[in-house]
Structure 1
């Protein structure tokens, strides 16, 4: 009887220890301040949602404002397990992630924000090269955040294509500088976190962004003209997790993370749609920002007929195949983007 009771106690302790060992504490790091914009607010939603679905067994701690990694340090921070998860702004790393930078080589382009999100998830499911490229740096895709259609927030009015000539406009990646040069502007390489100071002190005349983003970064405090140009949506951020960390997770938490692929994207898109409508309505009501529309045909002609812009678009297949993607897959990706 005593032996049976002792055995039961040992089994109970073993089960308890096993349960404790399976409890995971994940660290999510973000270069943005908490609640600053749709990106950080929906990232917080994801962290809260993981905690909710895990019902207290597993938790995600959210670390904000670049306290553990700045925007340019994110892939390295996740790779080296400084944090377990974080946002990767792919256009800032065109040479490190050429395959996952497919869409930023095609500005301007006609796809919507939702269409781009669906495409990127489809590509990750269909073409192994996308995941393989991330895996080289011990990264795994969790979900995606496609940029909505961008315009330009400027500290001076731009009322015609001629007014772009000589303007200093924030830039990054490869396609955006070529597009800006095509309209006569001067691209200035800079991360979005530095945009406010640069716009306020005249280092920049304009910065690309969607309406909510310009408000979130407080650019509209120092720049009062939003130039509506048909740049189209683009690829911006993907959530990544350390691959080794993911592989070591218990099955229940893996499923929660896997479900974020579609669930987070849906939350992000719905949040952004509402925010764009609210921001434009607010601008119209209070007159804080003047929206100036540039004729679509003029902008498209100046950009898509430019040899440098076309050269950038043509270069992605070469970059992708050099990085290990089969040429047939790369050509299908381009067709998906441009059709």
Structure 2
């Protein structure tokens, strides 16, 4: 049967416009060092959906979970254009991101807040304070990213860090001589203060190290039991120490040349989606924490509480270590404003502890981060110099 041109023309126009729409969409490669199915990888997939949604389909992200770049390759990989963007853990690159790491390493100060004051929302507060501080109070942080040909557009934070071990470690005596994998020099100093040996390993090497007895514990958040499969190697858990969260993650680190080629609508979409990503990581970590601990306990692991003397000694350590952080980064990395930076951040953290108390859902947290932080970033100039 032959179709007339009158019948064909609408069909051809639909096909043509569909092709044009597809041709105009930009797809960027996004890398995360976490494996498929892990919480950060799922959050990255949701981030990609949010970018597409807020750009009205004009911008898309293709997520590569532990395939394009691993955690230790991410910074150079984004800088060199292997990926257009990714989930950057600054702790692996102390010389490249000292100002960011300095503030991240003050996270154990959450131990100094009253538990009733935090109300289980310390990670949400720290995430908000870290994001606001980076965007608006730390030009040095943004310059660090620019030197690596990157731009900061979102943050990520974990739930509280504790001891995930293959033997009981809940008091000062048990800490002595233990080998602890750490994710920051503050936790390294805490370990060594109590007679343990700190070891630096990437997240991708932790499970094997626990299995083989290379380390006795990893200082990490409870969801990593599931995210990294540590549930298979951990037999004893003490979550009350050393405390703090990991928040030195540029969850939306984009190659700066890629960023500058995007139009303002696309950059705005990335920031709007960034508010969602910034909210989803700590919120999801807090939701997964209980599940991870319950599953690990069912597999035979024992949950411990830190002894009162270890808790008190840890709080005293944190008070002293805030000064140590300032001196360490001044001496080793040339950070000149350390004391001023931590004073500013401490004020922001207190503000955010109050702001997050009425948040009862992920959507509410996203809206709070957007209204208080991301919406105030000027996309016409940010990252464009």
Tell me which interval the TM-score lies in, with the shorter structure as reference length: 0.7 to 0.9
What's the CA shift for 1:275? 1.0
Q: Give the match's secondary structure for 1:147.
A: coil
Is the CA contact 1:147–1:236 (under 8 Å) kept in the aligned structure 2? no
- In structure 1, what is the equivalent of residue 97 of structure 2? 97
Is the CA contact 2:236–2:304 (under 8 Å) kept in the aligned structure 1? yes
- In structure 2, what is the equivalent of residue 81 of structure 1? 81
Is the CA contact 1:145–1:268 (under 8 Å) kept in the aligned structure 2? yes
Structure 1: any 5+ residue segments left out of the alignment? 1-14
Is the CA contact 2:166–2:210 (under 8 Å) kept in the aligned structure 1? yes
1:141-290 paired onto structure 2 within 5 Å: 141-230=152-241, 231-239=243-251, 240-283=253-296, 286=298, 288-290=300-302
What's the CA shift for 1:51? 2.5
Cα distance in structure 1, aligned partners of 2:316 and 2:103? 15
Cα distance in structure 2, aligned partners of 1:165 and 1:327? 32
Q: Give the match's secondary structure for 2:163.
A: strand
Q: Deviations over 1:96-132 (max 9, x none)?
A: 1011113333253217211111111211232222212
- In structure 2, what is the equivalent of residue 63 of structure 1? 64
Cα distance in structure 2, aligned partners of 1:96 and 1:86? 16
What's the CA shift for 1:170? 0.7
- What RMSD over aligned residues (CA atoms) do the two structures have, in Å? 3.0
- In structure 2, what is the equivalent of residue 293 of structure 1? 305
Is the CA contact 1:109–1:233 (under 8 Å) kept in the aligned structure 2? no
Cα distance in structure 1, aligned partners of 2:214 and 2:63? 33
Q: Deviations over 1:166-185 (max 9, x none)?
A: 01111243212111001111
- In structure 1, what is the equivalent of residue 131 of structure 2? 121
What's the CA shift for 1:220? 1.7
- In structure 2, what is the equivalent of residue 30 of structure 1? 32
1:11-30 paired onto structure 2 within 5 Å: 22-30=24-32
Q: Give the match's secondary structure for 2:156.
A: strand
- In structure 1, what is the equivalent of residue 3 of structure 2? none
Structure 1 length-normalised TM = 0.84
Q: Give the match's secondary structure for 1:102.
A: helix
Change (3 A) 1:308 1:165: farther
Is the CA contact 2:161–2:219 (under 8 Å) kept in the aligned structure 1? yes
Cα distance in structure 2, aligned partners of 1:91 and 1:295? 29
Cα distance in structure 2, aligned partners of 1:203 and 1:321? 30
- In structure 2, what is the equivalent of residue 138 of structure 1? 149
Cα distance in structure 2, aligned partners of 1:103 and 1:300? 23
Structure 2 length-normalised TM = 0.75
Cα distance in structure 2, aligned partners of 1:336 and 1:152? 28
